[in-house]
């Protein structure tokens, strides 16, 4: 019966979880708008090249996580594993460079072939912030500030730590890379096979290996800060000083290198220890070289992505405040009056639960189940006298209200 199961690593978002996701997205969107970030949406699939070229041949995503397929026309396509590449593609193919700087927000589903576990899925969702065309350290500061603001608005900032590192400019990276390769080369026999392979193709990645033996070696490895040239050091200095001016706390972590090849200067993660191994809720950095790699004009850019599933898990469950009014016709004759009342209330923006079947007590049970505030009972007797019975479901107090003032009365009680 495997065809009737959801595909491994995918999930149905039932109402409770959908609501939590929506809250994360709406909070993020509203907050981002305060900083001038406007929502965009790029396609869910792109030519495979778009991701291969941007994420780099040695990244985990490209080597083992992409959902790639050939369509009926023979095109090689990939379901997007992240948002940045598509946005950069749009910048170039849409000729948007003339409008720089640009501030984008987007949200949506991403796809990675990973081992599913709590907080890690094959179809998951991200919110995403990109600031394009700003080379100054203030750009790094702003995107981090937007992230902190969103976490605060969600009520989870206190559960997270901002971990910060710098990868410097190309020159600093080359110097550091040489020192790192030199150091790791001396411990080759103790490195995991995976790290040994990385050492040749992308030595920085060894720094974020999760292997225990690797971690012991990495602990004593040279750190980036010591290899920064003057301008890279000044850049990072400014980022940290401005963050402090904003009261945004951070912890320097030289092991944050990010998995992708395109980062430079500031890289960061907001992490938590409340979600087990899946501790990163927001991650990002500066990627000045990316647009050029894709064939566009050089475009200094910085941004981040946040995992909606992880943010939703972290956020306290907020019971939706929208409580409906239950409209309950007693007997078939009251059905039309109930329908009309429900329509009028909904047109006034009031949510209404109108049952389809069952006797009075069954409908009352249903009203309680959907957490209704008030039940409006419409019976033949009441209708004959042009009134309805209102029962406050929290206090149990019942009263009669004239039908022609009912809608105004319920609207006022909101
Ligand atoms: P991780 O180290 O957890 O694999 P990552 O570095 O691959 O994360 P990014 O590519 O930076 O993650 O994505 C940004 C955010 O998206 C992560 O911090 C995380 O919150 C979320 N995320 C990434 N992969 C998944 C996934 N498979 N399922 C759920 N959320 C994810
Ligand atoms: Mg990953």
Is 278 a pocket residue for ligand 1 (Cβ < 6 Å)? Answer: yes
* 353-401 tens-digit pLDDT: 997 888 888 899 999 999 999 999 999 888 999 999 999 999 999 999 9
Distances in whole angstroms, Cα of residue 378 to Cα of each of 86, 170, 228, 329, 342: 55, 75, 76, 5, 12
Q: Point out which residues pair with 301 in neighbouring strands.
A: 132
Question: Predicted confidence band at 209 (pLDDT cuts at 50, 70, 90)?
Answer: confident
pLDDT of residue 321: 61
Report which ligand 1 atom has the smallest distance to the Cα of 112: 27
Q: Report the pLDDT averaged over residues 190-204.
A: 86
pLDDT of residue 272: 96
* 321-366 tens-digit pLDDT: 678 999 999 888 899 999 999 999 999 989 999 978 888 888 999 9
Structure tokens that stand for 212 in this block? 């225990």
Is 82 a pocket residue for ligand 1 (Cβ < 6 Å)? Answer: yes
* 121-173 tens-digit pLDDT: 999 999 999 999 999 999 999 999 999 999 999 999 999 999 999 999 989 98
- Residue 119 C-alpha to ligand 1 middle, in angstroms? 9
Query: What percent of the chain has pLDDT above 90?
Result: 75
Is 305 a pocket residue for ligand 1 (Cβ < 6 Å)? Answer: yes
pLDDT of residue 255: 86
Residue closest via CA to ligand 1's atom 22 equals 307
Q: Which ligand is nearest to the CA of 279?
A: 1
pLDDT of residue 401: 94
Report which ligand 1 atom has the smallest distance to the Cα of 116: 27
**b/e per residue 344-362 (b: at least 16 CB within 10 A):** ebeeeebebbbbeeeeeee
Q: Report the pLDDT averaged over residues 91-97.
A: 94
């Amino acid at each position: 019966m495997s065809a009737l199961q959801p595909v491994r690593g995918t999930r149905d978002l039932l109402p409770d979880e959908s609501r939590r996701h929506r809250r994360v997205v709406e909070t993020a969107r509203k907050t981002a708008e305060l900083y001038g970030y406007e929502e965009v949406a790029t396609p869910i699939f792109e030519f495979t090249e778009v991701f291969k070229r941007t994420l780099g041949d040695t990244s985990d995503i490209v080597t083992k996580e992409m959902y790639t397929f050939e369509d009926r026309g023979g095109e090689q396509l990939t379901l997007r594993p992240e948002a940045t590449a598509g946005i950069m593609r749009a910048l170039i193919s849409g000729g948007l460079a003339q409008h720089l700087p640009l501030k984008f927000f987007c949200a949506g589903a991403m796809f990675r072939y990973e081992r599913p576990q709590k907080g890690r899925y094959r179809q998951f969702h991200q919110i995403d912030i990109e600031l394009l065309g700003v080379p100054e350290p203030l750009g790094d500061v702003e995107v981090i500030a937007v992230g902190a603001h969103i976490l605060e608005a969600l009520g989870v900032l206190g559960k997270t730590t901002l971990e910060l590192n710098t990868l410097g400019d190309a020159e600093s990276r080359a110097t550091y890379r040489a020192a790192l390769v030199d150091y790791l080369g001396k411990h080759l026999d103790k490195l995991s096979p995976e790290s040994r392979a990385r050492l040749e193709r992308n030595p920085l990645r060894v720094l974020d290996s999760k292997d225990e033996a690797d971690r012991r070696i990495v602990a004593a490895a040279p750190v980036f800060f010591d290899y920064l040239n003057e301008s890279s050091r000044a850049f990072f200095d400014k980022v940290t000083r401005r963050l402090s001016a904003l009261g945004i706390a951070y912890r320097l972590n030289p092991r944050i290198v990010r998995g992708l090849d395109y980062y430079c200067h500031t890289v960061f993660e907001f992490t938590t220890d409340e979600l087990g191994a899946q501790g990163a809720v927001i991650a990002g950095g500066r990627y000045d070289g990316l647009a050029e790699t894709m064939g566009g004009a050089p475009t200094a850019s910085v941004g981040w992505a946040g995992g909606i599933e992880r943010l939703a898990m972290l956020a306290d469950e907020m019971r939706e405040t929208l409580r409906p009014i239950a409209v309950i016709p007693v007997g078939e004759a009251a059905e039309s009056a109930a329908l009309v009342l429900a329509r009028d209330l909904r047109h006034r923006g009031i949510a209404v639960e109108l049952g389809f079947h069952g006797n009075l007590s069954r409908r009352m049970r249903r009203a309680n189940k959907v957490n209704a505030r008030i039940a409006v009972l419409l019976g033949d007797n009441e209708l004959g006298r042009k009134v309805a019975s209102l029962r406050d479901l929290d206090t149990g107090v019942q009263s009669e209200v004239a039908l022609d003032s009912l809608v105004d009365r319920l609207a006022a009680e909101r």
